[in-house]
Amino acid sequence: MKNAQKLDWVKKRKERRESQRPEILFEGIRNGDVGSLSLAITLLESSLVSDQDKAKELIRLCLPFSGNSIRIGITGVPGVGKSTFIEAFGQHVISQDKKIAVLAIDPTSQEGGGSILGDKTRMNVLSQAENAFIRPTPSGKSLGGVARKTRECILLCEAAGFDIIVVETVGVGQSETLVHSMVDFFLLLMLAGAGDELQGIKRGIMELADLLVINKADGENIKKANLAAKEYKNALHLFPPNSNEWIPKTMTCSALENENITSVWTEINNFINHTTVNGWLEKNRKNQEIHWFKETLVDNILHHFLDKKEAKEEMDRFKDLIMAKTISPFEAAEKLFTNWIKDKNK
């Protein structure tokens, strides 16, 4: 490398380092600069310890400015129309002078295979809008890891002044429960007339929903959609009441034709008003924080444990015993844990 080239490279590296300083990024984020927000999320995603340290510092700085958004989870099977819906919904809320961030969790991306959410060009108009920010969430080794990073992304987006954060996920796998644990409002998108009215969506997911929307209620599909809405409404009645004393509604919409999108937004606002007045919203946020804290703690303890060679060997020994039916998995876990604690206290 020639001297001039080398100098240029060193200068660029210095500039990059400077732009990644947590205080600089924080200032950018607080000014609503999407470039800084993107860079910050890239730091969150990085597995380099130095980047993670910067990300932690940044989260610490942003924390006092977080919490001021409506956090909405959206789920539904692939093809139900999630991206089309968010495209229409996002434009509607932007027209109400709101800023919207969309984060997408794809439970399939961690397997290194095709990504359900990531492959398509999604939300073309919204992604160009000044008051919108769209970002697929980082893929990670585990869904838990991905979820943690998404939660951190939410905090950063809030500090950047986004009023509405949508966390989108695919209606397969366990990602719904994870998303549910980080949002205020959970919206389930469904289709009518896909044979069994409870197509592919597990009952458990329906129980999580604060609003059930039958999409593609347009053209010849309107009748079927109304019928499905009726059936789902009846099904929802059978579920035990939610702790937030909110009775989930069922409605129809056409994301493609922009029909009834405003009603969904009205319903979300009704929910927020209802749960603000009865105190559930604040309580739920606090519970979620404690839940994240405990989950991360368990994760850290497990990782710390699994990093130790002796612990791994002990674990393998117990695994063999479990396979040989010499010991139950429960007793094995208990024994391994007590032995470990005893050794530590020697």
Q: Does 169 interact with ligand GDP (rule: CB under 6 A)? A: no
Is there binding between residue 250 and ligand GDP (CB under 6 A)?
no
For position 90 contacting ligand GDP by CB under 6 A, the verdict is no
Strand order in the sheet with 132-136: 132-136, 100-105, 164-170, 70-76, 185-190, 211-214, 249-252
C-alpha to C-alpha distance for 83 and 105, rounded to whole angstroms:
13
Q: How far is the CB of 136 from ligand GDP (least distance, A)?
A: 12
What is the rounded distance in angstroms from the CA atom of residue 203 to the CA atom of residue 154? 28
75 is a site residue for ligand GDP (CB under 6 A): no
User: For residues 165 and 199, what is the distance between their CA atoms, to the nearest angstrom?
Assistant: 27
User: What track of x and - describes contact with ligand GDP for positions 207 through 236 (by CB under 6 A)?
Assistant: --------xx-x------------------
The values of phi and psi at residue 53, to 5°, are -65, -45
Candidate list 109, 254, 260, 275; residue touching ligand GDP; CB under 6 A: 254
82 binds ligand GDP (CB under 6 A): yes
To which residue do tokens 């509607």 refer?
92
**Alpha carbon distance 344, 210 (integer Å):** 47
Is 79 near ligand GDP (CB under 6 A)?
yes
Please report whether residue 279 would count as binding ligand GDP according to CB under 6 A: no
- Interface residue with ligand GDP among 20, 36, 75, 83 (CB under 6 A) is 83
Nearest to ligand GDP of 180, 216 (CB atom): 216
- Distance in angstroms (rounded) separating the CA atoms of residues 300 and 305: 8
> In the complex, what is the shortest distance from the CB of residue 86 to ligand GDP, in angstroms, rounded to a whole number?
8
**322 sits near ligand GDP (criterion: CB under 6 A):** no
The residue assigned the tokens 């919108």 is 132
Q: Which residues bind ligand GDP (CB under 6 A)?
A: 76, 78-84, 215-216, 218, 254-256
